[in-house]
Structure 1
Amino acid sequence: MRATHRQVMRRRRHRTNPLLFGLNLGFFAGLIWGTLRWLLYNMNFTNTLPGFMLDPFFLAAFLKSGWGQLIGIASFIVFSIVATFLYMFLLGRFRGPWAGIVYGVIWWGVLFIALGPLLGIVEPIRQIGYNTLATELSVFALWGVFIGYTHAFEYHDEASREPMMTGAGRAGAR
């Protein structure tokens, strides 16, 4: 069965809009991993509030409330959108999951070791506890691989851009 002219033209015109793709990827990265962070906080795997990045702007009592936790997830979504565009600009040429893992670990280091304690948004590394450190490191590594691998799959997946083989072509390819 041959592909119609319309199908061929649709495949040729497939170009991803980087702005919309970055917004979608960042939104869903923040929503998924921010919600997971909220769940892990409520299950006492981590002591870091879901809205820890908003600590300088809101009282801790508010950030512990239901609305505060919802705003915390929203702040993680905004953070993820910005981080996604930064990833696309700096590391977008890399393929595979490793760049994303390193990216997530670097963000964890910045937020929990370097700037976080300095700005007072998280406790110093010696006071925060191993459970919190391991949990947050895992979540940030997974968050980074989600961003990195999704980006790599969208922009470096050449198989999706190849023409579809017909029934006779598939038999001949075996």
Structure 2
Amino acid sequence: MAEQTKDQRKQEPRQSVATKAAATGFAGGLLWSALGAGAYYFHFSEVSAASFIFRSFWQTDWTGTWLAEVLSVLIVALLSIGTAFVYYFTLRSRKGIWPGAVFGLLLWGVVYFVLTPVFPAIPGFMELSSDTWVTTACLFILYGVFVGYSISYEYHEFNQTADSYSNKEGV
């Protein structure tokens, strides 16, 4: 019976918070950029990930296809890992959804105000419709809440669990 209890305590190796942050960033980038592609398809937004990634640099027919959208969603998901690490290194100890919402809004501002000159296929901010402003801002805020809340939750869970393990072992 004592062996069974010992085996129950031996669970799968715990992943680090940084590893979970990378997975969260990838999942968040995949989910929210796919929703952004859907918003573009249904004309809620004038821009999509493919507008940024492919249409800004190549003026070919294939950049307007579904393949370009799928590839750009995957690229955004990979880039989102880096964004998740920015959140991890700066705001992981903050609790609640507000740090993530602010992070998403700041990220939206960086993309649409700072990085727009790098992407010639994207019209200037004032040339975009208010539907695009609202839709993309909401997507970025939701992305920030998803990534931020997930990372901070894992961080606090990991530290709380680590503290309880050290207290049980008498360390």
The TM-score bracket by the shorter chain reads: 0.7 to 0.9
Which position in structure 2 is the counterpart of 1:108?
108
Which position in structure 2 is the counterpart of 1:95?
95
Which position in structure 2 is the counterpart of 1:30?
29
Deviation at 1:113?
1.9
Amino acid at match of 2:73: I
What aligned pairs does 1:1-174 form with structure 2 within 5 A after superposition? 4-8=5-9, 10=11, 15-54=14-53, 55-59=55-59, 61-117=61-117, 119-157=119-157, 161=161
The range that moved more, 137-146 or 72-81, is 72-81
Amino acid at match of 1:47: E
Q: What RMSD in Å do the two structures reach over aligned CA positions?
A: 2.6
In the alignment, the residues of structure 2 paired with residue 83 and residue 128 of structure 1 have an alpha-carbon distance, to the nearest angstrom, of: 25
Contact 1:41 / 1:48 at 8 angstroms: preserved in 2?
yes
The range that moved more, 101-110 or 116-125, is 116-125
Q: How high is the TM-score relative to the length of structure 1?
A: 0.79
**Runs ≥4 in structure 1, deviation > 6 angstroms?**
none
Contact 1:46 / 1:135 at 8 angstroms: preserved in 2?
yes
Cα 1:158–1:76 shift into 2, 3 Å: closer
In the alignment, the residues of structure 2 paired with residue 63 and residue 125 of structure 1 have an alpha-carbon distance, to the nearest angstrom, of: 22
| Count of aligned pairs | 160
* 3-state secondary structure, aligned to 2:49: coil
The range that moved more, 51-60 or 119-128, is 51-60
In the alignment, the residues of structure 1 paired with residue 111 and residue 90 of structure 2 have an alpha-carbon distance, to the nearest angstrom, of: 19
In the alignment, the residues of structure 1 paired with residue 56 and residue 126 of structure 2 have an alpha-carbon distance, to the nearest angstrom, of: 21
Amino acid at match of 2:135: T
Contact 1:41 / 1:50 at 8 angstroms: preserved in 2?
no
Contact 1:117 / 1:123 at 8 angstroms: preserved in 2?
no
Cα 1:69–1:118 shift into 2, 3 Å: closer
Contact 2:21 / 2:84 at 8 angstroms: preserved in 1?
yes
| Deviation per residue, 1:108-165 (Å, 9 max, x gap) | 00111222145435211110110001000000000000000001111113797369xx
In the alignment, the residues of structure 2 paired with residue 66 and residue 107 of structure 1 have an alpha-carbon distance, to the nearest angstrom, of: 26
Amino acid at match of 1:7: Q
Identity of aligned residues (%): 25
Structure 2 gap segments, 5+ residues each: 166-171
